[in-house]
Amino acid sequence: MNHRPSLQQAEWVVVIHGGAGNITNETLDSLAAKRYREALNRALLHGRDVLDSGGSALDVVEQVIIYMEDCPLFNAGRGAVFTALGINELDASIMDGLTGNAGAIAGVSNIRNPIKAARLVMEQSPHVMLSGRGAEEFAEEKGLPTADTTWFRTEERWKSYLRAKEKLDKNGTVGVVCLDKSGNLAAGTSTGGMNMKAYGRIGDSPVIGAGTYADNNTCAVSCTGHGEYFIRNVVAYDISARMKYLKQSLREATDTVVYGVLKQQKATGGLIAVDKNGNIAMPYNTSGMFRGFIKSDGTIKVMIFGDE
């Protein structure tokens, strides 16, 4: 059913995001911006290294997200935002564009790297999504490292939680999409969710089709933004469906959804996507989105605001 790429294809692309939102020169000082740029750059180089050592698109997605989950700058794994009750509840998902397999976990509080657990759900369980305590027990049984609340909690996020009580939003979800040397596509997303979310709330990031989607016939997509709208509009799948059924280009499909469909609903956010030919799209309708890409021709680029 899925497109099997020709073996001659040698080009690869890795695209990442570190969240979209109210990111401006006022909310992000130059030192902080430098730190984000450096972290994004390192994440991209890590993706290249995984490919160089023979990793697949799926391996790149998992490994680069692990790197970003362990980096306290991002709202995923360590550094995740807090729920209204002041705890971390993490969501993640991964999808393989070759097989159409997918895995996700939602609402977990003690798995150090949620994306690893999502991949294990995909590969070592008969299910697509596990949540809460069941997901945690599954990860423990599989021997994944756990972490207590002090691992996830960073002073920055805790302060932002306290500020959020007086209303201030926070971003930093991470996502990776990849086209590997064999022409396979994969996508993954990991997040702490939205700041001050209700206890038990699950966003789009672990929902296959909403926050994450990959199909070798079309594209791989990872979203960030106001999750409720991304779920209602089944955003990641909609991009793929527009390409598949309407024959839209990646650019047309992503622009229509981000600047048209979502904007009309005042839904803030963005996404990263790569198609089966290596075309990249990184649209967002917020003031900024942490993002970047690296390609087999050596191009590497990291951006936060406009086309800097």
Interface residues with ligand ASP (CB under 6 A) are 19, 171, 173, 191, 193-194, 203-205, 224-225, 227
Contact 224, 19 (CB under 8 A): yes
Sequential DSSP letters for 46-95: HHHHHHHTT--HHHHHHHHHHHHHHSTTSSSSTT---BTTS---EEEEEE
For the CB of residue 232, give the shortest distance to ligand ASP in the complex, in Å: 12
Of the two residues 272 and 302, which places its CB atom closer to ligand ASP in the complex?
Answer: 272
Of the two residues 205 and 216, which places its CB atom closer to ligand ASP in the complex?
Answer: 205
For the CB of residue 207, give the shortest distance to ligand ASP in the complex, in Å: 10
Of the two residues 183 and 227, which places its CB atom closer to ligand ASP in the complex?
Answer: 227
For the CB of residue 143, give the shortest distance to ligand ASP in the complex, in Å: 27
Packing angle, helices 114-124 and 57-70, rounded to 10: 150
Q: Which runs of consecutive H residues, i.e. helices, occur in the chain?
A: 30-52, 57-70, 114-124, 132-141, 149-152, 155-164, 227-232, 235-245, 250-255, 263-264
Q: In which residue are the tokens 């997303």 written?
A: 189
For the CB of residue 80, give the shortest distance to ligand ASP in the complex, in Å: 10
C-alpha to C-alpha distance for 86 and 292, rounded to whole angstroms: 31
C-alpha to C-alpha distance for 242 and 117, rounded to whole angstroms: 30
Burial letters 214-229, b for 16+ CB under 10 A, else e = bbbebbbbbbbbbbeb
Packing angle, helices 30-52 and 57-70, rounded to 10: 150
For the CB of residue 225, give the shortest distance to ligand ASP in the complex, in Å: 5
Packing angle, helices 132-141 and 114-124, rounded to 10: 80
Respond yes or no: is residue 256 known to be catalytic. no
For the CB of residue 282, give the shortest distance to ligand ASP in the complex, in Å: 14
Of the two residues 57 and 81, which places its CB atom closer to ligand ASP in the complex?
Answer: 81
Catalytic residue among 24, 27, 154, 173: 173
C-alpha to C-alpha distance for 295 and 192, rounded to whole angstroms: 28
Of the two residues 60 and 223, which places its CB atom closer to ligand ASP in the complex?
Answer: 223
Of the two residues 93 and 191, which places its CB atom closer to ligand ASP in the complex?
Answer: 191
**Residues labelled as active-site residues:** 173
